C-alpha cells in the first residue's frame, strides 16, 4: 500500500514538474522572438546625488510585453533567458537601446545597464560593447555596466579578464546587489569597481533592524576606504533616505526618488527648459 501511495505521489509530482518545464520552454521559445517582434522595452530609473538631490544618471531596466500576459518584469523571465542563453540577444538589445537614448541626454548624465553573468562568459563581450559605443557615439565613461557577484561564480579568471578590458575601454564597472552574494571582499580588492550598490533587501529593513544598518554602514565604509562610491538602491521612505545619507552614501535610487519609467524624467525636464526658453506657442502676460 505504502509503496503504491508513494508511487502515485511521485507521478503527481512528475506531472507538476512537466507542467513547470513546459511553461518555461514556452517562455523561452517566445523570448527568442521578443526583440524581432518589438516586444522589448527599456524603463529608466533615476539615480540621484544624495547631497544635492540632482539626477546623475539612470538605470536601464528591461521590460517584456509578452503577448497575452501584458508587461512582464525581469523576475519572471530573466532566469529563463539566462538558462537558455537568449539573454545574450536581449542584453545586447537593451545595451544598444540604452546607449542610443543616453547619447541624446545632457553630457554629464550616465546610463547604467545590467549585464548578466551569462554575457560575461562571451569571449567577445568587450568588442560588442565597444562596437555599440562607436555606433551610438556615447562616451565610454558615461556607460556603467552593472555586474552581480554571481558572475564570479562561473569562469572567474575569464570574467576578471573581460572586466579589465572593459575598464580599459573607459567604461565604468558597478558591483550590483552588493552583500547578497559570495566572495565580495576579494572581488572588490582585485577589480576596478567604480561604484558599489547596496542591495535593496538591506534598505528595506534599515529603519527597524540595527543589524541591517550596521551592514550598510560597513559596506559604505568599505567602499570609501577603497575609493569606491556607494549607491543605495530601493530607497522607499524619507527615513531610509536620511539614514543612508547620515551613513555617508553618495547616491540614491528608489521609488521615493523616482520610479522606472519608459520616458526618463530628463527628457521631460529638457522639454520644460526648452519651453521656458522658446515658449509653447501660447501667449502669456510677460511680467518678468
Instruction: Enumerate binding residues for Mg ion (CB under 5 A).
Output: 114, 146, 176-177, 233
For cell 560597513, what's the residue?
218
Task: Indicate the residue among 105 and 178 with the shorter CB distance to ligand C2E.
Answer: 178
236 binds, among ligand C2E, Mg ion, none (CB under 5 to 8 A by kind): ligand C2E
Least distance in angstroms from the C-beta of 62 to Mg ion:
10
Task: Indicate the residue among 140 and 181 with the shorter CB distance to ligand C2E.
Answer: 181
Compute the C-alpha angle 14/19/25, nearest 5°: 125
Select from 53, 140, 71, 148 the least CA-distant residue to 102. Answer: 140
Q: Mark 94-113 with x for binding to ligand C2E (rule: CB under 6 A) and - for no binding.
A: x-------------------
Select from 197, 190, 196 the least CA-distant residue to 163. Answer: 190
For residue 264, give the 3-state DSSP assignment: coil
Compute the C-alpha angle 93/170/225, nearest 5°: 115
- DSSP character string of 77-123: HHHHHHHHSTHHHHHHHHHHHHHHHHTTS-TT-EEEEE--TTGGG-T
Among 50, 116, 136, 229, binds ligand C2E (CB under 6 A): 116
Among 46, 223, 260, 264, binds ligand C2E (CB under 6 A): 260
Among 75, 210, 227, 284, binds ligand C2E (CB under 6 A): 75
Least distance in angstroms from the C-beta of 114 to Mg ion:
5
Least distance in angstroms from the C-beta of 235 to ligand C2E:
6
Select from 252, 262, 203, 258 the least CA-distant residue to 229. Answer: 252
Among 30, 101, 233, 247, binds ligand C2E (CB under 6 A): 233
Chain residues that interact with ligand C2E, rule: CB under 6 A: 45, 61-62, 73-75, 78, 87, 91, 94, 114, 116, 146, 176-177, 200, 233-236, 254-255, 260
Amino acid at each position: 500500500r505504502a509503496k503504491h501511495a508513494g508511487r502515485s505521489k511521485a507521478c503527481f509530482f512528475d506531472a507538476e514538474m512537466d507542467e513547470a518545464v513546459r511553461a518555461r520552454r514556452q517562455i523561452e521559445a517566445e523570448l527568442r522572438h521578443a526583440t524581432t517582434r518589438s516586444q522589448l522595452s527599456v524603463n529608466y530609473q533615476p539615480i540621484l546625488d544624495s547631497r544635492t538631490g540632482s539626477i546623475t544618471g539612470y538605470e536601464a531596466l528591461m521590460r517584456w510585453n509578452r503577448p497575452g500576459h501584458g508587461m512582464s518584469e525581469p523576475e519572471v523571465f530573466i532566469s529563463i533567458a539566462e538558462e537558455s542563453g537568449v539573454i545574450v540577444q536581449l542584453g545586447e538589445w537593451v545595451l544598444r537601446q540604452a546607449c542610443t537614448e543616453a547619447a541624446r541626454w545632457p553630457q554629464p548624465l550616465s546610463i547604467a545597464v545590467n549585464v548578466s553573468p551569462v554575457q560575461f562568459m562571451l569571449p567577445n563581450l568587450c568588442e560588442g560593447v565597444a562596437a555599440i559605443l562607436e555606433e551610438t557615439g556615447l562616451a565610454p565613461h558615461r556607460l556603467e555596466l552593472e555586474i552581480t557577484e554571481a558572475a564570479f561564480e562561473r569562469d572567474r579568471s575569464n570574467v576578471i579578464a573581460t572586466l579589465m578590458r572593459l575598464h580599459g575601454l573607459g567604461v565604468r564597472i558597478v558591483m550590483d546587489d552588493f552583500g547578497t552574494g559570495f566572495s565580495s571582499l576579494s572581488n572588490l580588492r582585485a577589480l576596478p569597481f567604480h561604484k558599489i550598490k547596496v542591495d535593496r533587501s538591506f534598505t528595506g529593513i534599515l529603519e527597524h533592524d540595527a543589524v541591517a544598518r550596521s551592514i550598510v554602514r560597513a559596506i559604505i565604509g568599505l567602499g570609501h576606504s577603497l575609493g569606491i562610491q556607494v549607491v543605495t538602491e530601493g530607497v522607499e521612505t524619507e527615513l531610509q533616505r536620511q539614514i543612508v545619507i547620515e551613513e555617508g552614501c553618495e547616491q540614491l535610487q528608489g521609488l521615493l526618488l523616482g520610479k522606472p519609467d519608459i520616458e526618463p524624467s530628463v527628457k521631460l525636464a529638457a522639454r520644460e527648459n526648452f519651453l521656458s526658453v522658446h515658449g509653447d506657442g501660447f501667449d502669456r502676460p510677460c511680467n518678468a
